[in-house]
Structure 1
């Protein structure tokens, strides 16, 4: 308060005002300037002491997800789930071997983007298949209605449907014979299975599944380890028909059959996918590449292929062909 009164005396004292004259006015202006400069210096020094200097704050480089650099994007949910899945269950007994997984991964890698991937069977590798086909369309078909529903609940990003198989592995020969009898009618190699009454054709999937041009099909279901199990006759036959009936996209479809060493997988693979289309095989995998076929085609394989298939023994499936 004392300093403020003195300042008021200097600026407003009647004596100074009465004296007038240029010198007095210049003196008044000079003193006022010094006073203001002193106050400004005092305020600046106080702020500098109380607030240490900080580096300038730059605005964020990415203001929206669309502006993010690919390296900064979060991992897709399917990749995260896959990593967790394999970390906590790395010692799971029933899983596919690495060379067999690489066959599927290689087929997906050659697939034109976006890739349409159909998988028969919900297995230990399900999340891996979903992740490997990132940005593509992946659909799973399983024999167990409750497990399919449970899996979708646990992993909402997975698209799974259930199929009620009416076949038995022990009926394989009779079912193959019925397909041959109906190859020009209900069991044609090229058709829309949604309207088919073929015993081996799967016709109870959602309608849109039959409209997709599938690029890769993996047959790893249903179960077929015992005579009364459904066996994979229907899934192999259906895969062959879907591949030959494509209307658009790539003219070729990779069809991969797991457990190819077993009779049902080997015989039906050779019968409906054809040895002439087999590009590689191991003890566990049969890898076929099928071309889109003419709608008037009524033969699955050439006569030479059927003879070779009939005479084949399990030992011949362990070789690899290019």
Structure 2
């Protein structure tokens, strides 16, 4: 009996030693699982909330939020003051308040807009700001100026362009474009592979694939015979507008339109019938996509085409020998 009692005494406590150990394990596990569970639940909630809010904002918010009228008016106001204060000797191409207002009206329409600007000027930052959440690409002959512009203003794209033409060659270039060699200077073509001397085919490839809504020609320099002149920029802008894949019209602005080279080039490639208005030294054209095959940029009858071809050389001869 003693032995059995001893056995019972030995076995009975052993059972009591095991039960607390086994019963304590779930408690420890729960103590570890509770923080992990709540951490995972909190993380999943944050991720779900963020994804939902971002998707809802994408669905509800418009593609482009226009600037408040007060902000755009203030930008135009201070840009006009800065332009007026700039000496004419250092800023010969500064735009007038009326010219700024004409361009701004096109930039402030519903978007987002693709805006292409030839030439860096004091007003370039203004146009980039007005094209809020749109795409602004600037082309300039000065590599340093293009690089500095990108560093100063976030979101703007600037590229340097090598112009191979000169103002002194304007007569010859126009004769080629409207003469026997005009097959290379078609209004609808791939500029990247163009053999026309007026075509700018050294630009970044993606520029040719964009459907531009607004094109501003305020460069390159064209005030001397050795300057590149804006004939290539005007021709390239006309081809981009008439080759627009999505269709529709493109607002094309030409600054310094009072100068002979800019005026003759615009009338030849952007066309008088597409002119909307002239404001001071700025000309505004609305160029529509060309769906017809041919070599003429402007809509002309055979009679007017023949008279134009005979009159165009005479208009070219009016250009001053020294250039502009």
How many residues align? The count is 241
**Aligned residue number for residue 257 of structure 2:** 260
- Helix, strand or coil at the partner of 2:270: helix
- Helix, strand or coil at the partner of 1:182: helix
TM-score (norm 2): 0.66
**Aligned residue number for residue 158 of structure 1:** 156
1:104 corresponds to 2:77: no
Structure 1 residue 87 displacement after superposition? 10
Distance 1:130 1:124 in 2: 11
Structure 1 88/257 Cα, relative in aligned 2: closer, same or farther at 3 Å?
Answer: closer
| C-alpha contact (below 8 Å) 1:183/1:189 kept by paired residues | no
Structure 1 residue 120 displacement after superposition? 0.3
Distance 1:279 1:311 in 2: 25
**Aligned residue number for residue 237 of structure 1:** 235
TM-score (norm 1): 0.67
**Aligned residue number for residue 86 of structure 2:** 92
Alignment of 1:280-299 (within 5 A): 280-294=277-291, 296-299=293-296
| C-alpha contact (below 8 Å) 1:121/1:140 kept by paired residues | yes
Distance 1:216 1:158 in 2: 15
**Aligned residue number for residue 177 of structure 1:** 175
Match of 1:272 among 269, 282, 300: 269
| C-alpha contact (below 8 Å) 2:80/2:96 kept by paired residues | no
Distance 1:201 1:117 in 2: 19
| C-alpha contact (below 8 Å) 1:270/1:309 kept by paired residues | no
Structure 1 residue 102 displacement after superposition? 1.1
Q: For the pair shown, which has the larger CA radius of gyration, 1 or 2?
A: 1
Q: Higher mean Cα deviation, 89-98 or 191-200?
A: 89-98
Structure 1 154/298 Cα, relative in aligned 2: closer, same or farther at 3 Å?
Answer: same
Alignment of 1:74-89 (within 5 A): 86=79, 89=82
**Aligned residue number for residue 125 of structure 2:** 127
Alignment of 1:300-311 (within 5 A): 300-301=297-298, 302=300, 304=304, 306=308
Aligned CA RMSD, in angstroms, stands at 3.2
Structure 1 residue 299 displacement after superposition? 0.7
* Higher percent of residues as helix: 2
Match of 1:226 among 220, 224, 227: 224
Unaligned runs of 5+ in 2: 1-48, 317-324
Unaligned runs of 5+ in 1: 1-62, 314-322
Distance 1:102 1:281 in 2: 12
Distance 2:243 2:80 in 1: 40
Distance 1:179 1:232 in 2: 15
